Amino acid sequence: MRVARSLVLAGVLVPAALPVSAVDRWEAVSAIAPVGDDDSTTINEPRHGAVQVGHDFDSASDQDWIRFIGRARRSYEARVSSGSAPWTSVACPPGTCASFDLVDSGGVVVIPGAPDGLPSTAQSVRWASGDVDAPYYLRAISNTGLTGLTYDLVLYDTTLFLPRFNNVGTQTTVVLLQNTRTTAVGGFIHFFDGLGAHLHSQNFTLQGNATFVFPTVGIPALQNVAGSATVAHTAGYGGVTGKGVALEPATGFTFDTPLSVLPY
């Protein structure tokens, strides 16, 4: 079936004569997902950095669900953009823009989506996971009363990785973080010993463009131990950067270890 695409012109939704597919590839019904991607049984599991092109709201009340297992003490960002679906914007009358949120398995909103970039063109959800692996659900709803609206979706693992900190002997490590965004963000620095056992989690808040300096020497669980760390945050992919600096007072030497992100 082919339906008409809709466009946003001067803040008003109007139909246009451009045909688009009414059913996208993620709507497939199976024994595992008996209603396709319309609820939490969806089998649509995104991969880090892989853009899912051409999602389609195939009815005026359509909703699309995405499910994946989030790893413990990591952070994530999901974005919807492109296509013809209008997201939260003053250009839409109340309740008539498409929405994109992090929800629980029953559809209750856990973290609402927020505008990302130009008004109405994109929506994003950013969050830090808890202390155990857990399923997460993302849901896009048309709300517009129109059919055939399209969008693209991408999920990022935004966690930063520090392969080395060292508080053994006379060395001590300081972790430095920078918020590259103009808005406040928060998160946690999670420390692990050389065998991967969790030692300590340090929360932080960064105002826009601010820096955070954390001397690990003041934490009892991190004394006389070396290991690694991860940084989970709510800034989105590329929103936080930084490094670990091991200080050697006896010689005055410093050893910098940059934080890294997962490539895609």
Please state, in angstroms and as integers, the Cα–Cα distance from residue 136 to each residue in 15, 87, 128, 152, 189, following that order.
Answer: 34, 21, 11, 19, 21
In terms of residue numbers, what domain contains 11?
A: 2-157
Residues 61 and 124 in one domain: yes
pLDDT, tens only, 70-98:
999 999 999 999 888 888 766 677 678 89
In the prediction, which pLDDT does 21 show? 42
Higher pLDDT, 196 or 249: 196
Residues 28 and 109 in one domain: yes
pLDDT, tens only, 114-135:
988 776 789 999 999 999 999 9
Residues 151 and 170 in one domain: no
For the domain that residue 187 is a member of, what is the CATH number?
Answer: 2.60.290
Per-residue pLDDT band at 3 (split at 50, 70, 90)? very low
CA-angle at 107, arms to 103 and 110, nearest 5°:
30
| pTM of structure | 0.86
Residues 220 and 149 in one domain: no
pLDDT, tens only, 141-167:
988 888 888 999 999 999 999 999 999
Distance CA 205, CA 215 (A): 15
Higher pLDDT, 227 or 23: 227
> What is the pLDDT averaged over residues 6-18?
35
Residues 137 and 20 in one domain: yes
Cα-Cα-Cα-Cα torsion 22, 4, 95, 12, nearest 10 degrees, comes to: 160
pLDDT reading at 14 higher than 60: no
pLDDT reading at 28 higher than 90: no
Percent of the chain clearing pLDDT 90 (strictly above): 64
In the prediction, which pLDDT does 106 show? 95
pLDDT reading at 18 higher than 50: no
Residues 26 and 79 in one domain: yes
DSSP assignment of 17-85 equals EEEEESS-GGG---SSSTTTTSSTT------BT--EEEEEE-STT-EEEEEEEEPTT-EEEEEEESSS-
Distance CA 130, CA 118 (A): 31
In the prediction, which pLDDT does 119 show? 66
Q: Are 168 and 216 in contact (CB under 8 A)?
A: no
Strand segments (E) across the chain: 2-9, 12-21, 52-57, 63-70, 75-81, 99-103, 109-112, 114-115, 122-128, 134-141, 149-157, 160-166, 172-179, 185-193, 198-206, 211-215, 226-233, 240-248, 253-258, 260-261
Residues 33 and 114 in one domain: yes
* Mean pLDDT (the chain, rounded): 87
Percent of the chain clearing pLDDT 70 (strictly above): 88
Residues 124 and 73 in one domain: yes
In the prediction, which pLDDT does 23 show? 67
Residues 65 and 150 in one domain: yes
Residues 245 and 128 in one domain: no
Residues 127 and 88 in one domain: yes
Which of 157, 181, 203 terminates a domain? The answer is 157
